[in-house]
Structure 1
Amino acid sequence: MAQKQSGGGFFSSLASSLSNFKSQVNFLLGYEGLEVINPDGGTEDAEVEAQRGRWRQEDRDGHWKMMQKYVGADITSMVTLPVLIFEPMTMLQKMAELMEYSHLLKLADECEDPHMRLVYAASWFISNYYALQRTWKPFNPILGETYEMVNHNGITFIAEQVCHHPPMSAAHAENEHFVYDISSKVKTKFLGNSVDVYPLGRTRLKLKKDGVILELVPPPTKVNNLIFGRTWVDSPGDMVLTNLTTGDKVVLYFQPCGWFGAGRYEVDGYVYNAAEEPKILMTGKWNTSMSYQPCDLDGEPLPGTDLKEVWKVAEAPANDKFQYTHFAHKVNSFDTAPTNLLASDSRLRSDRYALEKGDLSKAGSEKSVLEEKQRAEKRTRESKGQKFVPRWFDVTEEISVTPWGDLEIYEFNGKYSEHRDATGNADTNGTDITKMEFNPWQYGNVSETE
């Protein structure tokens, strides 16, 4: 299995040479201090690498002039980012992509072996990283925006934007095998040509058969080459999945991408019992597949056992403009929507739809309209002395301590289940949901100006 690498000798010398060369390239381009990182390694194409990417030269120059004042800052809440770096999906929809390989949770729920149960559950969480490697930014949800998903493995999924500053989302998913809940508040640090993303959230998964509760702490993510060069994603660090009921846990190390691409995508680690003894080794790549094998107390494979694949990424569409999977397209379509869709649903956003159709100009103008409507709703609300109250989630008094800061917890209040029981999937009004108007506003469909 891959191990952590330490610098020194030849590699330190190479790193120094590469850093000097990159500085020369940056200076020639007028971006002194920015670093271009080639995920494939090497120095011979550093200047070519610097010129690659989705930006035209004039767009890149203008964006850098706007962004350089934010170096070192958290840019999560920025609304001035250009539409050309977005994908036609919101963060709430991106949260739903984790449901693609939910068959793994059926296996986990039905599994009698408590350690294999963790193998299935950990592989389910890892499966989402293939979608997270996309280099396009999802739209920030409007306060009160929702996303619903049905018609996939019996799952009912609901997510809601519960706070605007700082941006916070909450989601709940459930079927006959599991209950999934997350409170998510992403924290970022802009570094010039890259951004560090810290997953400031709490994720809990309940398997219904035995009632065990699992909690996830994911590794941070780094998005490289934002302004020039090929944009790519790395998530170096530990992912820890703990069985809060038994004390068993999974600790998986996501290898950082090294020189010449060494270690990129690789994930290695173990399932431990409550006594912190390794029971099963896990290894693979987060963009292709994961495998497992029983091991001894030294972490070595048990004689007579084989390495077995537990998860493999599904075939993706070739040359997709936004690097979407087939499931991502389903998430964006009305095929996974309940017929009687909430008017606050992400699919109905005019800016998202315009971008999906390839109209960047309209997407940009519609994004501005929605943001102004959001500001108008806030002014209306504050003028009435009222505060925003989420519809489907309630804020609790619980504070979760994470490696990147404290987090207030929102819990599913059950009202969505009551709503669906009352309305069902029947379109009682005969409304064509594809023509519904996006409306997450608490005080009516506010106009662009007061």
Structure 2
Amino acid sequence: SKSVGNKLVFCPPPSPPVYSSENASNNCLGLLSKSTWVPEEHKFGGRVNPEGFMLPFPLFLCRTQAEMAHTCRGTINLSTAHIDTEDSCNIVLSNGGRTYHLKANSEVERQRWVTALELAKAKAIRMRNNQSDDSGDEEPASQSDKGELHGTLKTLSSKLEDLSTCNDLIAKHGAALQRSLSELENLKLPAESGEKIKAVNERATLFRITSNAMINACRDFLDLAETHSRKWQRALQYEREQRIRLEETIEQLAKQHNSLERACRGLGPFVSTGSVQSAKGEASDEDEETEYFDAMEDAPAFITVTADPNSNQTSYNESTCKDLLPKKRRRTRIPDKPNYSLNLWSIMKNCIGKELSKIPMPVNFNEPLSMLQRLTEDLEYHELLDKAVKCESSTEQMCFVAAFSVSSYSTTVHRTAKPFNPLLGETYELDRLDEFGFRSLCEQVSHHPPAAAHHVYSKRGWTLWQEITIASKFRGKYLSIMPLGAIHLEFHSSGNHYVWRKVTSTVHNIIVGKLWIDQSGEIEIVNHKSKDKCQLKFTPYSYFSRDVPRKVTGVVTDADGKAHYVMSGTWDEKMECSKIVQSSHGSTSSEGKQKTVYQTLSPKVLWKKYPLPENAENMYFFSDLALTLNEPEERVAPTDSRLRPDQRLMESGRWDEANVEKQRLEEKQRAVRRRREAEADYEGYIPLWFERKVDPMTGELICVYKGGYWEAKDKQDWSICPDIF
């Protein structure tokens, strides 16, 4: 409609926010297009329109699209503007004596513009304040940081004064020395030469002393400046990154606000199927305040020096299970992941501090595998344990066990999606006895907290068992996943019994940016028979570190504490061991710890990651083994993860149906639990194939395999299995 007086019809821009002649109204509030530069006098401005772009401040007003390139009917400085609403479609912008009445096409469009204007106004105010106050919106420094900075600046000022004083003295004494030398040249009487030469020597000595003081002061100043300049550069870089992240977060939140408003007026296909909600009283937060901390103390610092650099590098990885052709053809691909867009922050922003298992999550953030299958995936490099069986030395065997403990993390580097939480009583078997000599069984033995028991037997000479409880907390910007529980590995012939625990996994960039995973902490592997130990340190990623990302280092020692091997590598690529031939104490580090220098033979590759299959980026970054884990298989128990319907629907790309099915399964599980707990003699859930016993090694109560599963499979007698699907 045409405007009257100073009234303008307020037209929302299309997406992308560039006007075209078909949709430009005769009277509109014009925005600079995305490709147009803001005039120099307004260079501090940006743009945010209701689609998420930043508005210019001051705001430019144009009556037609054609005027935008050459005419401006008026401007309002948003930093001092008052934004008000007259009715469901009108907005009033006022600044001093100027008032503009703007009209949107609908109440929804009006609210979107009000939100965008308010965000732009807030940013304009911050930018204005930055011009008068350099502190801006940066995070305030702590008192200790301020005190340290003040002390450093005071020291530098003192050194500068020393330099200035020395400079004046050098100039003064230099001039006096020059006069003395001139007088010496004009001498004619030898009798006076002695006196003058003496004066020259005195002045030269004084000049030399002053020059030395000047040099020392310069050296002190430079040392101090170099030491702190690096720290200030890192601090400045950190503050810049924080500011950029904050701006991106605000922009992201503005977009999500608009999306939520649209969703409220027209529910999308996912919302129409119903999001998975917990039953009343289901998501208890009794442990919401519980904090978990990893043992992050520094491992003993050491330096490795190769004793024989000319020797050829030997690899223990020359023959792998890849060389053994499986007797059964397994699938090599799954359906490509659909391109569903759903923001993780929109789901998790109200769940900060809660257990991940208590957050109602749609399958959109899952991968089509259960946690039981992910636990089984740790066996991808089982051939390391087959080789360890053949080691005659217990310390050499420890190297293979350490490499195996690291190899289980290699599959996580690109796997940012979460696995399905198993239902109580859910099982998963992986029978590779004929192909690779082992078979594995997992069972979900607890729901809150979620815990899975795992048992693996290999006819090639080893048995592995564990009970893993996943403790996870969403902390706002990142998600911490802490596997609790010990992993046991026993070799049949030697009786060597190894025990270790997993490190913390952290998912970063939950709010904004690309998700990425890091592993950090320490693993101590102990051979309870020989008392050998291996201390592995997973170095957390640091933007400023010069170390190789995802670095893992460690030392293998015997019962007497003597070091035999150095372990080095990365958790996503490979691990090597180097035999130590001599060790000595080196220099003391800046933290006061004495470094140990190990002289070693050339490193030998123990483990190297297999390349991902072709098209892995469209198949959830699954490895060759992971692609086979959910492959349908006959004769498995009716509780097997392969038979879980919501997971099967998700793998086939039918995500909306999978979300409905996931909600049905979880509600069925709650109903069974309520009936079970209503029984008078109920004493807690009893697993099917595992039983609780005290672990003699750790003293913990854990679930161990009691037998019967494989016999039941041979007979196809699954009568004790519950109906969980």
Instruction: Specify every segment of 5 or more residues in structure 2 that has no aligned partner in the other structure, as ranges.
Output: 1-229, 256-338, 585-595
Counterpart CA distance in 2 for 1:237 and 1:197 is 12
Identify the residue that residue 143 of structure 1 maps to in structure 2: 424
Q: 1:330 aligns with which of 628, 650, 653?
A: 628
* Deviation of the 1:31 alpha carbon: 8.0
Within-5 A mapping of 1:28-427: 28-30=251-253, 56=341, 59-60=342-343, 64-78=345-359, 80-133=360-413, 134-151=415-432, 152-176=435-459, 177-259=461-543, 262=546, 263-295=548-580, 296-298=582-584, 300-302=597-599, 305-320=601-616, 321-334=619-632, 339-385=634-680, 386=682, 387-397=684-694, 408-420=701-713, 422-423=714-715
Identify the residue that residue 84 of structure 2 maps to in structure 1: none
* Deviation of the 1:163 alpha carbon: 0.6
* Deviation of the 1:314 alpha carbon: 1.1
Contact 1:293–1:301 at 8 Å: present in 2 too?
no
Counterpart CA distance in 1 for 2:664 and 2:720 is 14
CA deviation profile, 1:365-403 (whole Å, cap 9, x unmatched):
1111111111122123233343421011112255997xx
SS class of match (2:345): helix
Amino acid at match of 2:345: W
Contact 1:247–1:274 at 8 Å: present in 2 too?
yes
* Deviation of the 1:227 alpha carbon: 4.3
Counterpart CA distance in 2 for 1:245 and 1:113 is 13
CA gap of 1:355–1:228, structure 2 versus 1, over 3 A, is: farther
Amino acid at match of 1:64: W
Contact 1:399–1:409 at 8 Å: present in 2 too?
no
Identify the residue that residue 196 of structure 2 maps to in structure 1: none
Amino acid at match of 1:224: H
Q: Give TM-score scaled by structure 2 length.
A: 0.51
Counterpart CA distance in 2 for 1:215 and 1:192 is 33
CA deviation profile, 1:260-308 (whole Å, cap 9, x unmatched):
78532211111111222221011111111111111233464546x2111
SS class of match (1:235): strand
CA deviation profile, 1:63-93 (whole Å, cap 9, x unmatched):
5354223212222333x11211100000000
SS class of match (2:498): strand
Counterpart CA distance in 2 for 1:225 and 1:440 is 44
Does residue 12 in structure 1 map to residue 305 in structure 2? no
Amino acid at match of 2:555: Y
Identify the residue that residue 91 of structure 2 maps to in structure 1: none
Contact 1:145–1:440 at 8 Å: present in 2 too?
no
CA gap of 1:445–1:85, structure 2 versus 1, over 3 A, is: closer
Amino acid at match of 2:463: V
Bigger-Rg structure (1/2): 2
Contact 1:202–1:400 at 8 Å: present in 2 too?
no
Counterpart CA distance in 2 for 1:123 and 1:31 is 46
CA deviation profile, 1:307-342 (whole Å, cap 9, x unmatched):
1111111121133220000011122224xx5x4210
Instruction: Specify every segment of 5 or more residues in structure 1 that has no aligned partner in the other structure, as ranges.
Output: 1-6, 33-53, 430-438
Counterpart CA distance in 2 for 1:329 and 1:357 is 13
Amino acid at match of 1:20: R
Counterpart CA distance in 1 for 2:254 and 2:404 is 40
Q: Percent identity?
A: 28
* Deviation of the 1:205 alpha carbon: 0.7
* Deviation of the 1:215 alpha carbon: 0.6
SS class of match (1:221): strand
CA gap of 1:384–1:286, structure 2 versus 1, over 3 A, is: same
Identify the residue that residue 189 of structure 2 maps to in structure 1: none
CA gap of 1:410–1:77, structure 2 versus 1, over 3 A, is: farther
CA gap of 1:31–1:284, structure 2 versus 1, over 3 A, is: farther
SS class of match (2:401): helix
Counterpart CA distance in 2 for 1:30 and 1:142 is 34
CA deviation profile, 1:233-256 (whole Å, cap 9, x unmatched):
101221221111121111111122
Give the number of the structure whose residues are more often strand, by fraction: 1
Give the number of the structure whose residues are more often helix, by fraction: 2
- My pick for the range that moved more, 103-112 or 238-247, is 238-247
CA gap of 1:145–1:357, structure 2 versus 1, over 3 A, is: same
- My pick for the range that moved more, 250-259 or 346-355, is 250-259
Counterpart CA distance in 1 for 2:252 and 2:422 is 35
CA deviation profile, 1:108-131 (whole Å, cap 9, x unmatched):
111001111011111111111111
CA deviation profile, 1:331-370 (whole Å, cap 9, x unmatched):
2224xx5x42100000111111111111111111111111
CA gap of 1:313–1:261, structure 2 versus 1, over 3 A, is: farther
CA gap of 1:64–1:125, structure 2 versus 1, over 3 A, is: same
SS class of match (1:172): strand
Contact 1:142–1:440 at 8 Å: present in 2 too?
no
Contact 1:400–1:408 at 8 Å: present in 2 too?
no
Counterpart CA distance in 2 for 1:312 and 1:136 is 24
Q: Give TM-score scaled by structure 1 length.
A: 0.80
- Of structures 1 and 2, the one with the larger relative CO (CA 8 A, separation 6+) is 1
SS class of match (2:639): coil
- My pick for the range that moved more, 275-284 or 163-172, is 275-284
Report the number of matched residues.
392
